[in-house]
Amino acid sequence: MTQKKFLITSALPYANGPIHFGHMAGAYLSGDVYNRHRKLQGHKTLFISGSDEHGVAIMLNAKKTGEDYQEYVNKWHKEHADLFVKYGVDFDFFGQTSADYHEKEVVEWFKVLHDKGYIEPRDSQQLYCNDCNNHLPDRFVEGQCYKCDYEHARGDECPNCGEFIDPIKLTKTVCKICGSNNIKEVTVTQYYILLSKYHKEYRQWFATKSDWRKTVYPYVDSLTKENLHDRAITRDIDWGIDVPLPNTEGKKLYVWFDAPIGYVSNTKKFLEQTNSSEDYLKDWWNNDDVELTHFIGKDNIIFHTVIFPTMSLASGICKAADQVPANQFLNLEGKQFSKSAGHYVDAGVAIGKFGQDALRYYLLSILPETTDSSFSWEQLQAKVNNELANNIGNFLNRCLKFTQKNWAEGMPAKYYEGFSSSEWADKLKEDILELHELVNEYSIKKGIEKVMSIGQSANNFFSENAPWAQIKTDVDAAGKTLAYSSIYALCLGVVMKPFLPELSKNILVHFNNVLDEEMEKRIYAADLSVLDSIFANGHVLTQPVEALVPKIDDSLIKEELEALASK
């Protein structure tokens, strides 16, 4: 396979609170699986993300906690970065949009787009609090929705009906800074990005994206067919990147504009930190030979399929996305995650209780790739216990323990002979190649199902040949069954690597004395002829064999359900 370059991003998590399972399933696990998959195929990849650290919501919550803005976002940045490590989400670089290197990149983008006539000042109406003397953009204000009458609509969106809100139209308005109702309407000058000027060119580019998901392409098509809407990209606030123009004191570039540029600035910073000879634009972001994929949730579709591509193409700085496989929403026990309502699970606490393998497996098996799905504690237990533990874990435990017990000095090479040209190898090759097709097309959920089917084939082979019975009458037959089962275990550990890296590592540790990275890549490419050289001298299981997939106890699930019900 010819080596290609893949630039992979996952949505920048907002540095304003904990990450929950919906976030993990929305953008991060899928991106991680895809990145690991492409690496195992032998391609060159960069997996980039980072904290989104500007915006009104961060300012409001930092004020509530009494923390300095920078201190506040640094705290959440560290918590998020640590959590990704625990879940095995292996970014090459996880940066911060409050960093100086990011500001330099954003200012450059602004200047290029401004010089090309895609940014201009416009007067607009904004709410202003007479009591605390603050402008009230977006979430600085709350009021009654003019569409559904919900009394706590935010200044950017109504959480009840989903309407994108014009804060001027809200009634019963309240300042979120001081709680005052003494609010007036004032005229302010803000800078707008003129997306409408690039409509024709955008539509020409977008016409080449008909292979995008059916939950993405038709939605964006209907949204952009007639025109693109210009958007304000500045605010009168005291946290963010200064507008790099004269006479703009007090104006900051807003999160809509600066956040997606974080993918680019973080790539540049990563290459600098690793002393790479590559240029972040020429070799990656503005290279037509690189495949660029954004992994996001559906609430980020507009930014990644309309706004950021238009910014990239109109500026000429970057290429636009090749793929945007947006996931739908993951709910919790049938209802939306809501920290304010207490319908919420702390992903950090959960990983400590259930471990990476169990949570990655279950979340990947219910990924909301084309429709919304729901996390259920009882279903988590059922899938982990009945599928991962009984299918995979039980097979591995029985196969490896039985081999180590009866061939403690090592399994002779003769028992491994013939597998690579057998009917079982033919089926395994077919399954691995199908796995590639699925993950290449971003069908991660079906990918983990295919891995499990390989595990089931291994389990069936072991059970049907019953080496515990064979060894009583035909030692050679038992040896061959166990040798072939060990090959299945090895191959299962390899194909599992993108999905369950921790379990994969715990399987492959039993083959470290005969396996190297290039051999893994050949197995992952369905080149099973490499097995002949791996086991040419037989194999000795030197590591103690332990249960690899613990079952989830009823008491843990009861505890989670009671905690959820009590909130």
Distances 499 to 37, 441, 463, 476, 503 between C-alpha atoms, Å: 9, 15, 25, 35, 9
> What is the model's pLDDT at position 139?
77
Alpha helices, H only, 178-307: 199-206, 217-224, 255-258, 261-273, 301-302
| pLDDT given for residue 185 in this prediction | 92
pLDDT band of 565, cuts 50, 70, 90? confident
pLDDT tens-digit profile of 217-276?
999 999 999 999 999 999 888 899 999 999 999 899 988 899 999 999 999 999 999 999
CATH class for the domain made up of 5-110+256-349: alpha beta
Q: Which two tokens stand for residue 533?
A: 């050289």
> Which residue is associated with the tokens 């098509």?
221
Q: Are 448 and 364 in contact (CB under 8 A)?
A: yes
Q: How far is the C-alpha of 55 from the C-alpha of 52, rounded, in Å?
A: 9
Residue of 198, 254, 260, 257 whose CA lies nearest to 228: 198
**H or E segment and range at residue 174:** strand 171-175
- Name the DSSP letter for residue 414: G
pLDDT band at 460 (very low <50, low <70, confident <90, very high): very high
Query: pLDDT category, 106, cuts 50, 70, 90?
Result: very high
pLDDT > 70? residue 289: yes
In tens, the pLDDT along 327-368 reads 999 999 988 887 767 788 889 999 999 999 999 999 999 999
Q: Which of 92, 47, 90, 34 is nearest to 325 (CA)?
A: 34
Would you say 563 and 397 are in contact if contact means Cβ atoms under 8 Å apart? Answer: no
Mean pLDDT for 34-55 is: 97
Distance CA 398, CA 403 (A): 8
Quote the CA–CA distance of 382 and 488 in Å, as a whole number: 25
DSSP state of 297: B
State the Cα torsion 341-347-352-353 to the nearest 10°.
60
Q: Supply the pLDDT for residue 164.
A: 77
**Which part of the chain is CATH 3.40.50.620?**
5-110+256-349
Say how far apart CA 329 and CA 213 lie, in whole Å. Answer: 15
**pLDDT at site 90:** 98
pLDDT tens-place string over residues 290-332? 999 999 999 899 999 999 999 999 999 999 999 999 999 999 9
* CATH superfamily to which 377-534 belongs: Isoleucyl-tRNA Synthetase; Domain 1 (1.10.730.10)
pLDDT attached to residue 1: 66
165 — pLDDT class (breaks 50, 70, 90)? confident
Name the DSSP class of 319: P
- For range 528-548, the mean pLDDT: 94
Report the residue count for the chain: 567
Q: Where in the chain is the domain with CATH 2.170.220.10?
A: 118-198+208-253
Tell me how crowded residue 394 is: count the other CB atoms within 10 A of its CB: 18
Taking residue 516's Cβ as centre, other Cβ atoms within 10 Å add up to 9
Which tokens sit at 189? 């000058």
75 in helix, strand or coil? helix
Q: What is the pLDDT of residue 344?
A: 82
Question: Does residue 488 register a pLDDT over 70?
Answer: yes
Across residues 491-516, what is the average pLDDT?
A: 96
Name the pairing type of β-strands 153-154 and 141-144: antiparallel
Contacts of 512 (CB under 8 A, 6+ apart): 543
Query: pLDDT category, 538, cuts 50, 70, 90?
Result: very high
Distances in Å between the alpha carbon of 58 and those of 74, 137, 211, 324, 396? 12, 13, 37, 27, 47
Which residues of the chain form CATH 1.10.730.10? 377-534
Quickly tell me which residue has 């194999």 as its tokens.
539
Residue 142: its H or E element: strand 141-144
- Give 225: exposed, middle or buried? Use CB within 10 Å, 0-12, 13-18, 19+: exposed
CATH topology of domain 118-198+208-253: Methionyl-trna Synthetase; domain 2 (2.170.220)
| Environment class of 336 (CB within 10 Å of its CB; exposed 0-12, middle 13-18, buried 19+) | middle
Alpha-carbon gap, residue 450 to 187, rounded angstroms: 59
The confidence score (pLDDT) of residue 151 equals 92
Q: Which helix (H) or strand (E) holds 403?
A: helix 394-406
Other Cβ atoms closer than 10 A to 150: 15
For residue 362, which of 330, 337, 329 has the smallest C-alpha distance? Answer: 330
Q: How far apart are CA 178 and CA 129, in angstroms?
A: 9
In the chain, how long is the greatest CA-to-CA distance?
92
**How far, in Å, CA of 467 to CA of 481, rounded?**
6
The residues with which 180 forms a beta bridge, in sequence order, are none
- The pLDDT-based confidence of 160 (bands split at 50, 70, 90) is confident
Question: What are the residues whose beta carbons fall under 8 Å from the beta carbon of 239, sequence distance 6 or more?
Answer: 54, 58, 59, 69, 252
Residue 528 has which token pair?
Answer: 């099973």
Spatial contact of 492 and 507, defined as CB atoms under 8 Å apart: yes
Above 70 in pLDDT, residue 11?
yes
